[in-house]
Amino acid sequence: MALCLSAGGAVVTLLQASVFTLAWTHSVERVRWEEDWHAGADGLTVVSARIRGSGAGMEPPPGAEWREGWWHYRPALAPQPGLTLALSDYAGDYTLCAEGTCRTLGALLGEPRGAWQVQLYPCPGE
């Protein structure tokens, strides 16, 4: 199943693979987060997540395991129809990795300015 991204009325098909990683750096603590997702007929399902540290409301959940410099855990979240992400000049960009390639959402969208809402969702009809 393909993964679609939309912002400002434009829709771009990002990849044909159904597995991707979404990563970002916390705007206050400057700590990296990563989530592994699967796009399927029932929506987007988070498979696993990891965080480099903790602080300011970003404590790892109960049951998280510390391995190789990351807290690893599996979020208890039902499949989502899509994700809405905010891009802002005041916070860092998201990185989307799939099929061995990583790109920022800003680069995929032509370096948006100001504040944008970006939607990620399984492409209809795929």
What DSSP string runs through 53-111? ---TT-PPPTT-EEETTEEEE------BS-EEEEEETTSPPPEEEETTEEEEHHHHTT-
| Mean pLDDT in residue range 101-105 | 89
Question: 103 or 9: which carries more pLDDT confidence?
Answer: 103
Confidence band, pLDDT 50/70/90 cuts, at residue 40:
very high
The lowest-confidence range among 5-19, 58-72, 97-111 is 5-19
Question: 26 or 20: which carries more pLDDT confidence?
Answer: 20
Query: pLDDT tens digits for 46-92?
Result: 999 998 877 666 678 889 999 999 999 999 999 999 999 887 777 77
Number of neighbouring beta carbons within 10 Å of residue 124: 8
pLDDT of res. 80: 97
User: Percent of the chain, pLDDT > 70?
Assistant: 84
Place of tokens 């970002």: 24
pLDDT of res. 31: 79
Average pLDDT, the chain: 84
Burial 50-65, CB ≥16 within 10 A → b, else e: bbbbeeeeeebeeebe
Q: For strand 70-73 and strand 95-98, is the pairing parallel, antiparallel, or unpaired?
A: unpaired
The token pair at 36 is 């592994």
